[in-house]
């Protein structure tokens, strides 16, 4: 399996190749499953607290959604909710 999707993100295209090992230790103090944003952050803060976390990842760090931020920005954010509802054709308030 490729470490990149069909169209790699900017981060994936410019980051150094990940160094991954298939040799797992026989034991681990803490195992973090997933090397995305939350897995990496969890491992980072555990390490800062003195733990020795082992991060396991199926493909590569930030392979999933973490490495493919869609940058969902829109001018719609400047509009208030009443204007959005009118724009969407809503005729009544949704509870």
Query: Which pTM does this prediction carry?
Result: 0.57
Q: What integer pLDDT is reported at residue 95 of this predicted model?
A: 53
Burial of 35 (C-beta count, 10 Å sphere; 0-12/13-18/19+)? buried
**Element (DSSP H or E) covering residue 13:** helix 10-14
Nearby residues of 81 by Cβ (< 8 Å), 6 or more positions away: none
pLDDT at 41: 93
pLDDT averaged over 10-residue windows placed end to end, the chain, 95 residues: 61 78 90 92 96 90 71 60 71 59
Selection from 26, 30, 84, 33 nearest residue 61 by Cα: 33
């Amino acid at each position: 399996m490729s470490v990149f999707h069909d169209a790699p993100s900017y981060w994936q295209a410019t980051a150094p190749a990940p160094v991954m090992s298939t040799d797992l230790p026989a034991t681990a103090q803490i195992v973090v499953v997933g090397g995305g944003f939350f897995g990496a952050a969890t491992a980072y803060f555990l390490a800062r607290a003195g733990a020795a976390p082992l991060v396991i990842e199926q493909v590569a760090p930030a392979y999933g959604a973490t490495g493919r931020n869609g940058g969902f920005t829109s001018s719609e954010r400047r509009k208030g909710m009443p204007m959005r509802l009118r724009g969407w054709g809503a005729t009544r308030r949704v509870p």
